[in-house]
Structure 1
Amino acid sequence: MGNEAHFATDLYQGTAGYYDRYRLPYPAAMLTHLVESAHLSGQGRLLDLACGTGQLAFPLSPHFAEVWAVDQEPDMVEVVRAKSAAEDGLRPIVAGAETLDAQPDYFELAVVGNAFHRLDRDLVARRLLHWLTPGGHLALCWSTSPWAGGEDWQRTLAATLKRWQQQLDAEHRVPESAGQARQHRPDPDVLAAAGFEIAGRHAFTVEHHWSLAELAGHIRSTSFLPPAVLRDRAEEFDADLAASLRPHSDSGIFTENVSFAYDLARKPA
């Protein structure tokens, strides 16, 4: 437990617009599979923890009577609030996962999208177990990033991002121990230690075609090269990104097989 990574709480400040526009949606097939696997009643409550701009809260909301969309970044929650104006039963809440106030046995399903590694995993796992109804489920949802693959253009993209992180002194915005903690204690081990029953991982692959503009926008939605870091060098970054990637595509389109997955766990009944 002592090697858990600690992330600053304001890393996504100013990214909400880019996050909402350029983060890829979870595939419908994955969400349908999750709904079926969680055996939802259609009348329960959903907790979307570290919700971003609602990438899980909104598509899952038709299956619930009440949805809490919770994030520690006010900008993210403000986007959720604006998008939820016509949504009955959706509550945008500014709070950290470690400090949220919720009743025990309240939620039928809790979801965390691309964020569990940023939380105090042991504490949050115990809190989630406490908040879920007996027999309720937790889904940790994930997707891969365009710079993480093995295609030539992806390796070039990764190298370009690393070079700019070094130039802008942004290398340490993401703790070096972030990956080590999960390798040492994978998320299912953390959930099992908290008292969850582990129900397995379900993976889905979607082909996506990125334009240069979409890649630039997606990068601005990250914690390591957000607008607050790029600042007055944003145009220079875009030009360098285009120059670096252009040799890999005559059309300016870059194809990625995006991996999505969710790890499902259950509170004992």
Structure 2
Amino acid sequence: MLDLGSGTGQVAAALLPALAHVARLDLVDPDAGMLREAAETLAPLLGDCPAGFHRVGAEDFTPPFDGYRADLVTCARAFHWMPRPAVLSMADRVTAPGASMAIMGDGSLWTHPTQWTTELKRLIQSYLGPERRAGTAGAYTEPVRRYEDDLAESAFSDVTEHRFPVRRRWTPAAVVGYLRSTSFARPALFGDLHARFEQEAHLLLEEHGRNEGLIEYAVFTVLLARRPGGDR
């Protein structure tokens, strides 16, 4: 299994218990801090499964040994920020003939239309300005092309879409932890004000948690892509 844009390892942590056998796990992310958190998260789940942590952009991943072939490539929200044709070309080079790619995501708390997420967004904007920030890339821009269009022009052009309704009950601590991993509220954007922001966010979230609760209704979408003619 090869996970791209791994962040803190949440995709791998969710999939490892569900997969019957994983011979090797490789996580790819350019952020060393994220990979350190991923290693800590996954340590109790790996068992005898060897794991590699690669601090590079997804398009620059190179196999860790001769003969390496991934059977499953996963990528969650980070796919938006990647040079997608280059990433898909890399995936074609390092995967087995019958491999699958799973491009997945479920939106963002930034756009989720509830009172508590709206007020949280306003708090972020009070520190960072009205535009949605995008880490070191400036302001967020909507993708010009659909992921399906990128996949259609790649080796993985056989695509099926799967949609799963999700109801989440968040805790204040979980929301704050989530914000640290996002492009629009990562700690570096706040500079010396980050600690103060997190204190205010905790207070806001605790207040809403006591009232109606921190509930999110989302749809988790998975684009499962394969090479044409392969087994399903």
Structure 2 residue aligned with 1:123: 86
Asked if the contact 2:102–2:224 (Cα under 8 Å) also holds between the matched residues in 1, the reply is: yes
Structure 2 residue aligned with 1:50: 5
With CA pairs under 8 Å and 6+ residues apart, which has the higher RCO, 1 or 2?
1
Q: 1:78 to 1:156 in 2, by over 3 A?
A: closer
Q: 1:175 to 1:187 in 2, by over 3 A?
A: farther
Give the CA deviation at 1:243. 6.2
Asked if the contact 2:169–2:216 (Cα under 8 Å) also holds between the matched residues in 1, the reply is: yes
Give the CA deviation at 1:208. 1.7
Query: For 1:108, what is the secondary structure of its paired residue?
Result: strand
Give the CA deviation at 1:54. 1.8
Give the CA deviation at 1:152. 2.4
Structure 1 residue aligned with 2:37: 79
Does 1:160 pair with 2:123?
yes
Query: For 1:56, what is the secondary structure of its paired residue?
Result: helix
Give the CA deviation at 1:221. 2.3
Structure 1 residue aligned with 2:104: 141
Percent of paired sites with the same residue: 26
Cα deviations by residue, 1:134-163 (Å, 9 ceiling, x for unpaired) = 221100011222231122222222222222
**Residue type of the alignment partner of 1:64:** V
**Residue type of the alignment partner of 2:110:** W
User: Alignment partner for residue 90 of structure 1, among 39, 43, 51?
Assistant: 51
Give the CA deviation at 1:229. 2.9
**Residue type of the alignment partner of 1:127:** M
Asked if the contact 1:113–1:140 (Cα under 8 Å) also holds between the matched residues in 2, the reply is: yes
**Residue type of the alignment partner of 1:56:** V
Give the CA deviation at 1:77. 2.0
Asked if the contact 1:246–1:252 (Cα under 8 Å) also holds between the matched residues in 2, the reply is: no
Query: For 2:59, what is the secondary structure of its paired residue?
Result: coil
Give the CA deviation at 1:200. 1.7
Structure 2 residue aligned with 1:236: 196
Q: 1:152 to 1:170 in 2, by over 3 A?
A: closer
**Residue type of the alignment partner of 1:223:** S
- Aligned equivalents of 1:106 and 1:136: distance in 2? 9
- Structure 2: gaps spanning 5 or more residues: none
Asked if the contact 1:51–1:69 (Cα under 8 Å) also holds between the matched residues in 2, the reply is: yes
1:1-269 alignment runs, 5 A limit: 46-61=1-16, 62=19, 63-82=21-40, 83-84=42-43, 86-102=47-63, 106-166=69-129, 171=133, 173=135, 174-176=137-139, 178-179=141-142, 182=143, 184-241=144-201, 250-251=210-211, 253-268=213-228, 269=230
**Residue type of the alignment partner of 2:56:** A
Give the CA deviation at 1:224. 2.8
- Aligned equivalents of 1:242 and 1:64: distance in 2? 38
Asked if the contact 1:50–1:97 (Cα under 8 Å) also holds between the matched residues in 2, the reply is: yes
Q: 1:247 to 1:52 in 2, by over 3 A?
A: closer
Asked if the contact 1:49–1:69 (Cα under 8 Å) also holds between the matched residues in 2, the reply is: yes
TM-score (norm 1): 0.70
TM-score (norm 2): 0.80
**Residue type of the alignment partner of 1:132:** T
